[in-house]
């Protein structure tokens, strides 16, 4: 029985993620900004989302596009002013939406004053980062950065190594130092007092480093072996932070917790994190070697195949693996709560990856919406996914902006001795830049994103895929999202119901079905996740009229499902 005590606003919310740099540019410098977001608040309201999470807009040299923060309390000029941020906060609050930002505290920029002071052993901050003395030719251990290359850089000024799990311009803070923690808590309170409604805690599972910084086991998958993640003091530090900061507020805390499984997540929930973000369902399209390994497709194939075949091969997915990942977290979440996303600023475009962005663009994008919005997890919609934005072409390495893609492309070219054109299809299906092309507002120049030169290329398909066209078309992906968001808001079964996983099975490897049940009421969700029609027999409840359907005609009943057909039924 669902009681008021079970309810939480952040469980019932739909989150919309904004990458400010690429959302809307109000001043013509080619870079999206806070005023641009303010101008689009009505759009967000029309879509019906409850929480807006913006990626970093703090002062930053942008080595990792704002995830390298030089001043936590200042808005970067290119994004506007603190007054603009306050206006955005007020505009959202006036429409009952909340505002969350990234909290990036595993590392700062190397241009942050703290790091600059830390380079000088006499400036009183020598222990604020993870430094090691030693031989300038030999890093202190074998760790490699999540962006490729060693996780250590030698600093000539201090004559010591510093650790960076990400880019060399993102030195890791030393959380074992109480002064560091204190400074972070003060900064968090600064934002809470300003009226922020919560945080998405970036790479939060990385903040506590293992005692003695031992070498990593360099076997297969050593990234996952725990050396970087869930360190010995992590829960002590997070509960201390909760106690000193957000425990006094009704804030939503989203933990990005790479390297944590559902069991580990229980401890994060106890620390006061409301929802966790995991990656298991993202791994299903990568193949055995991981995101940046072309091995399972083969470098020769990359050079030889046509683009459409390659796009398909690089996004091959076994639906039962996807279900296993979702199910593992749904069943393992215990008293905690999951989030669910299909796209983010770190991923390729959902419809290109999990659907068919060509022949069945609308059908597969709306199928993905149905998947996203009918699970027991707070759904995150990434900007542009509600329009069905697609992966872009990256014909020249000069078009690439992302530090990860640059690093990995360099590595691939080095290791394989091939021209850039050979790896370009791989970039199209892996690079984070795909999610970062400008939001497509209309069919005018630069998709209505800017009057200037966009900082990153606009996707070629903007004349067809854009918000203005989508708002005018009642059958659009946008309106499908909008009405499904409304439905989720009105239906406790879709938010709180338990899930039974029905399909895929051996007979229907490409059909997804699940049933949500709450207090005797249930909803059946059936998704024909393929470009072929299929007759699905043996599922109870397909005879009535669906309450959600992505094909608008009378044929949307019974056992026959057309390509990427998605339906939801109210069942007993």
Catalog residues that contact ligand ISL under the rule CB under 6 A: 64, 67, 104, 146, 166, 202-203, 258, 291, 345-346, 404, 432
**Minimum separation from the CB atom of position 252 to ligand ISL (A):** 17
432 vs 523, beta carbon nearer ligand ISL: 432
**Minimum separation from the CB atom of position 430 to ligand ISL (A):** 8
Catalytic residues: 202, 256
246 near 188, Cβ under 8 Å? yes
255: helix, strand or coil? strand
Of 162, 147, 42, 202, nearest in space to 403 by CA: 147
The residues near 300 (Cβ < 8 Å, ≥ 6 apart) are: none
Q: Counting beta carbons within 10 angstroms of the beta carbon of residue 94, is it exposed (0 to 12), middle (13 to 18) or buried (19 or more)?
A: exposed
114: helix, strand or coil? helix
204 vs 319, beta carbon nearer ligand ISL: 204
50 vs 102, beta carbon nearer ligand ISL: 102
**Minimum separation from the CB atom of position 107 to ligand ISL (A):** 7
- C-alpha torsion 379→383→388→389, nearest 10: -140
Q: φ and ψ at 18, to 5 degrees?
A: -110, 130
369 near 43, Cβ under 8 Å? no
432 vs 514, beta carbon nearer ligand ISL: 432
Task: For residues 26 and 78, give the distance between their C-alpha atoms in angstroms, rounded to a whole number.
Answer: 10
Strand partners, 549: 567
DSSP readout, 127-163?
A: TSB-EE-S-TTS-SS--B-TTSSBSEEEETTTTEEEE
Q: φ and ψ at 347, to 5 degrees?
A: -120, 165
**Minimum separation from the CB atom of position 253 to ligand ISL (A):** 16
Beta strands in 442-496 (DSSP E): none
Q: Counting beta carbons within 10 angstroms of the beta carbon of residue 519, is it exposed (0 to 12), middle (13 to 18) or buried (19 or more)?
A: exposed
78 vs 404, beta carbon nearer ligand ISL: 404
**Minimum separation from the CB atom of position 354 to ligand ISL (A):** 17
Task: For residues 512 and 504, give the distance between their C-alpha atoms in angstroms, rounded to a whole number.
Answer: 5
**Minimum separation from the CB atom of position 207 to ligand ISL (A):** 12
169 vs 514, beta carbon nearer ligand ISL: 169
165 vs 373, beta carbon nearer ligand ISL: 165
Task: For residues 439 and 32, give the distance between their C-alpha atoms in angstroms, rounded to a whole number.
Answer: 9
**Minimum separation from the CB atom of position 199 to ligand ISL (A):** 13
Report cis status (omega within 30 of 0) of the bond before 250. Answer: no
Q: Angle at which helices 319-332 and 262-270 pack, to 10 degrees?
A: 40
């Amino acid at each position: 029985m669902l009681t008021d005590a079970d309810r939480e606003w952040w469980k019932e919310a739909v989150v919309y993620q904004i990458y400010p740099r690429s959302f809307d540019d109000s001043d013509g410098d080619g870079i999206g900004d806070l005023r641009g977001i303010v101008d689009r608040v009505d759009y967000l309201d029309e879509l019906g989302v409850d929480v807006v999470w913006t990626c970093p807009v703090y002062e930053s040299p942008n080595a990792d596009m704002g995830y390298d923060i030089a001043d936590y309390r200042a808005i970067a000029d290119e994004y506007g002013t603190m007054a603009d941020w306050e206006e955005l906060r007020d505009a959202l609050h006036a429409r009952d939406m909340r505002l969350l930002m990234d909290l990036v505290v595993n590392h700062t920029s190397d241009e942050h004053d703290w790091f600059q002071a830390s380079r000088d052993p006499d400036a009183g901050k020598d222990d604020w980062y993870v430094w090691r003395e030693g031989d300038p030719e030999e890093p202190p251990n074998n760790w490699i950065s999540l962006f490729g290359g060693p996780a250590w850089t030698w600093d000539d000024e201090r004559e010591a190594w510093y650790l960076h799990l990400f880019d060399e311009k993102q030195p890791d803070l030393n959380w074992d130092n109480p002064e560091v923690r204190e400074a972070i808590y003060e900064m968090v309170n600064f934002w809470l007092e300003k009226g922020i409604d919560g945080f998405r805690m970036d790479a939060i599972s990385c903040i506590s480093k293992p005692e003695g910084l031992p070498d990593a086991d360099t076997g297969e998958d050593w990234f996952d072996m725990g050396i970087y993640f869930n360190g010995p003091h992590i829960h002590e530090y997070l509960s201390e932070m909760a106690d000193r900061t957000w425990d006094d507020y009704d804030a939503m805390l989203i933990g990005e917790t790479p390297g944590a499984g559902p069991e580990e997540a229980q401890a994060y929930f106890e620390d006061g994190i409301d929802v966790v973000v995991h990656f298991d369902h993202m791994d299903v399209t990568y193949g055995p070697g991981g995101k940046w390994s072309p091995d399972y497709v083969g470098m020769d194939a990359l050079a030889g195949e046509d683009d459409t075949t390659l796009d398909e091969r690089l996004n091959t997915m076994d639906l039962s693996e996807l279900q296993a990942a979702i199910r593992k977290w749904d069943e393992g979440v215990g008293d905690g709560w999951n989030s669910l996303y299909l796209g983010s600023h770190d991923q390729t475009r959902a419809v290109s990856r999990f659907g068919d962005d060509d022949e069945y663009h609308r059908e597969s994008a709306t199928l993905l919406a149905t998947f996203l919005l009918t699970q027991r997890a707070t759904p995150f919609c990434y900007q542009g996914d509600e329009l069905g934005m697609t992966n872009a072409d990256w014909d020249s390495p000069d078009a690439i902006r992302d530090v990860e893609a640059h690093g990995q492309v360099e590595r691939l070219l080095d290791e394989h001795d091939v021209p850039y054109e050979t790896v370009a299809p791989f970039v199209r299906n892996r690079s984070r830049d795909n999610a970062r092309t400008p939001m497509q507002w209309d069919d005018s120049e630069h998709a209505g994103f800017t009057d200037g030169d966009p900082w990153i290329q606009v996707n070629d398909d903007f004349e067809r895929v854009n918000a203005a066209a989508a708002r005018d078309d009642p059958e659009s992906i946008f309106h499908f999202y909008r009405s499904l968001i409304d439905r989720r808001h009105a239906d406790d079964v879709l938010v709180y119901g338990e899930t039974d996983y029905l399909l895929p099975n051996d007979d229907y490897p490409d059909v997804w079905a699940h049933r949500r049940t709450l207090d005797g009421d249930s909803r059946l969700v059936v998704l024909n996740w393929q470009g072929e029609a299929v007759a699905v027999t043996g599922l109870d409840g397909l005879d009535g009229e669906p309450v959600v359907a992505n094909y608008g005609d009378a044929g949307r009943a019974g056992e026959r499902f057309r390509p990427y057909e998605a339906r939801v039924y109210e069942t007993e």
